[in-house]
A and B are shown apart, each in its own frame.
Chain A
């Protein structure tokens, strides 16, 4: 038997790199870059090169597991499906439809996410469906819907190569979206100017013209100061503003409150530097703003996004091939999960559940009545667990590591009458479940993912799932049938045909058309080539709308008792809750254990050396981890990666929410540090 080579998409970040899996004897034995993928073009980062490693890990779930006391027993699929359906139905019947909720996943395919949200809405007549985009880019969706009309990245990744000025704000792209940096460096080779705005020195900053290490949570003061300077100097694009936007006067009025000296005071960045960056951005022929969770994971996350859109519109840097706004979606299918309506207020295609005409369309298509009331978000579902929410169905999500204040999360989940978790490993969350369903991973299924540049791309099945594990598609079809729905799909292709018929922007998407290079939505008909950039002649909402970005300082600032800022984030060898990367020998060896980065001056004051065990405590909890001494963080700030279950950074984080989009303020909270003397005693 000769090896086979199967073309698919990397299961990790939102860049959506193409890879080729080598399959021998039913096992994925190597990963290679796909030379023809239009996004990655023959490149992979370390996670892609070793994407095959976790696939055959011995800890893969192989059979449905039913809780018996403190442990699990294996049960047959038929019994598992019947039990899950019965328990969920009984809960809804006893406590009302809104007592049931579902968490969809940014890691499973578009077709699976579509089926999941359809299942929850149609079987239980509730809109209690959400997923971890709430924790990442919900602020982007809300903010950009208000200003531009679409929450999607405005341009293509490869267009970064054509920018003359690139601002990185709250994005550590070299660790979280490494392959995308290739396009940035092409721009640099062409003479582009790069600025990094981040409280922490990131690898991108090493290659930038300048790093602006702003005080945590002061993005709006910086952006407002920049905009004020641009308007004062007459560098804004009056023609673009007049023809293509509205509400500029409101912004102008807002900027009166933001003279440069105030911006400098709040951000800690000198006026001269703010002027320099403002002029570089405004004067560039083409300019891009790249941002990520450093912008969105704040109590004023939506306002941060709005400020970025305001700046881009002010300078006319949107609606052109090489000028745009780049919210980098973190997970491989978080764009797709949102597109497929895995959100409590939006059906597929961002169609509002509260819109009667839209609801009527879906009721007709799905042959059932639907709720007109937006459902609860992830954070609300979990907080309400055991109270308003009595049963949860979680698909490939791990809130016991990913959500803020995880001690609270675990308490809430334990209050549920019924929790079913569908995943590929027994995650920290699955350990609390009453029923665990074993799912197939990316190498074991066919379907589509949508990357951060709105490109639908095909994943092809390369190997069989282990034991009795099934694809999420198969599981959802079984669940749908068990709950009385006509979920009689034979293939994911049939699911695509259904959602393409319901969302005009996806009407031209089909498996055949995606085979070679994928397609970027909007793709309104079968002959449409896909859309490289948005808002070209008109904004999605018509006119771009300037919105005043209300500034809110971080909810929790350092004080005498908790004197340090904690910032959390990602590192290059790992991915989110580490479920897959920590089971990849190569990736896990790169970074095996949790740590916290401490500035040398702070370390000296505390008597902490590299490798020392330190206790980090916030008002919500405490962890013990290992110190790294680094001047990548500024004095008074510390950084902790959030991938590790041994020292869960999210035990510390603040669950306070941006009121508009219910995203937690992960990026800033106050902590105290001390040497862990217990460790010393050992």
Chain B
């Protein structure tokens, strides 16, 4: 699989389809770090592990370099879906960001609770079946049981928060400036742990229709809060009620923003719309 990715990257560079290829480089002493490869000869050092997600990084690289600069990027399935979401929001010009997609293996899928461990545009590797995250014991521990028990369990986890902003910083879709989590109207400054509702639930709701389940937030969390699990329920609700999954269909926009009236929950009547001022539109 690695050879296929290298071959694809080499072809892109040789045909000058991109100014560089963003991926992981294993340098001297086996040290691994992100790198923009610019010469075919460099590609011997390209590796695929450990998991680094490049969508947000690619966005900032493209933003700082106007067309005709083009960047190719090595992506897993989740990274590709993040790019799709960013493109829907006008944050990435996909014509300037060709992808080299490769499939994750079953172990990675299990570790990430991933239901779709491969990109749509698969250039290397073989797609394996994803897992059902709701069948996983780690998820059941937080989403099963009585509401009061769940609340206490979540509260115990969120009390650990050291307010590092790692979840926000590492989330590929979390790009708003200014950020509500930095606003002291919502989040009290100078205090840890960050509060459950104004910090964690605001973040979760802000991503409710854009989360691509990449797991970056949880991996960045120094104290191990199961942030992915927090997001899974909202993804499931969107799937159930609107048949929508973030990051899949490049043309389809979020139903939360665009489709509420047209696509209510199956069997449910269109609600009588009232805005917060009590007036009908």
Chain B residues 1 to 39 lying within 8 A of chain A, measured CB to CB, are 19-20, 28-36, 38
Structural contact, A589 and B52, CB atoms closer than 8 A: no
Choose the segment among B121-129, B188-196, B240-248, B249-257 that binds chain A (4+ C-beta atoms closer than 8 Å): B188-196
| A573-B190, A589-B189, A591-B190 given; A2·B162 CB < 8 A | no
**CB pair B29 A516 closer than 8 Å:** yes
A174 to B36 CA separation, bound complex (whole angstroms): 36
A77: interface (CB < 8 Å): no
B71 → chain A, closest Cβ, in Å? 8
Segment at the interface with A among B84-92, B217-225, B264-272? B217-225
A512 touching B29 in the complex, CB below 8 Å, given contacts A186-B224, A189-B224, A207-B156:
yes
- Quick check: A49 and B31 within 8 Å, CB to CB? no
Q: How many residues of chain B get a CB closer than 8 Å to chain A's CBs?
A: 40
Q: Given the interface contacts A7-B33, A515-B31, does A174 sit within 8 Å of B224 by beta carbon?
A: no
Interface residues of A in 342-375 (CB under 8 A from B): none
B166 x A43 contact (CB < 8 A): yes
- A13 to B239 Cα, complex, angstroms: 44
| Among A106-114, A175-183, A311-319, A660-668, the stretch in contact with B | A175-183
Q: How far is the CA of A22 from the CA of B36 in the complex (A)?
A: 11
> For A207, what are the chain B residues with a Cβ–Cβ distance below 8 Å?
156, 159-160
Q: Does B50 contact A (CB under 8 A)?
A: yes
Q: Is the CB of A572 within 8 A of B163?
A: yes
Interface contact A182-B222, CB-CB below 8 Å: yes
Q: Which of A3, A44, A175, A203 contacts B36 (CB 8 A)?
A: A3
Q: How large, as a class, is the contact surface on chain A?
A: 35 or more
Tell me if A242 counts as interface (CB < 8 A to partner B).
no
With A43-B220, A44-B222, A185-B223 in contact, do A591 and B193 touch (Cβ < 8 Å)? no
Say whether B60 contacts A30, CB under 8 Å. yes
Give the docked Cα–Cα distance between A591 and B19 (Å): 42
Chain B 50-91 interface mask (CB, 8 Å, partner A; 1/0): 111000010011001000000000000000000000000000
Collect the chain A residues with CB atoms within 8 Å of residue B38's CB. 2
Query: What residues of B have a CB within 8 angstroms of the CB of A6 in the complex?
Result: 33
Q: Which residues of B contact A36 (CB under 8 A)?
A: 31-32, 50
Asked if B190 and A571 sit within 8 Å, CB to CB, the answer is yes
Q: Taking the nearest CB of chain A, how far is it from the CB of B154, in angstroms?
A: 14
Given A7-B31, A181-B222, A203-B192, also A45-B162 (CB < 8 A): yes
The answer for the CA separation of A35 and B134 in the assembled complex, in Å, is: 27
Known A33-B220, A43-B166, A49-B169; contact A2-B36, beta-carbon cutoff 8 A: yes
* Contact residues in B for A2 (Cβ distance below 8 Å): 19-20, 36, 38, 61
B197 part of interface (Cβ distance < 8 Å): no
Judge whether A44 and B224 touch: CB under 8 Å.
Answer: no
Q: Indicate if the CB atoms of A46 and B163 lie closer than 8 Å.
A: yes
**Is B222 in contact with A5, judged by CB distance below 8 angstroms?**
no
Residue with the highest number of chain A CB atoms closer than 10 Å, among B19, B34, B64: B34
Task: Please give me the 4 A-B residue pairs with the lowest Cβ-Cβ distance, nearest first.
Answer: A515-B29, A43-B222, A2-B36, A178-B162
Q: Could you list which residues of chain B lie within 8 angstroms of chain A, going by C-beta atoms?
A: 19-20, 28-36, 38, 50-52, 57, 60-61, 64, 156, 159-160, 162-166, 169-170, 182, 189-190, 192-193, 219-224
A-B contact pairs, 23 of them (CB 8 A): A2-B19, A2-B61, A3-B61, A5-B35, A24-B64, A30-B60, A33-B170, A34-B33, A35-B52, A36-B32, A42-B50, A44-B220, A45-B162, A46-B162, A49-B165, A174-B192, A179-B164, A181-B162, A181-B222, A182-B224, A203-B162, A512-B29, A516-B31
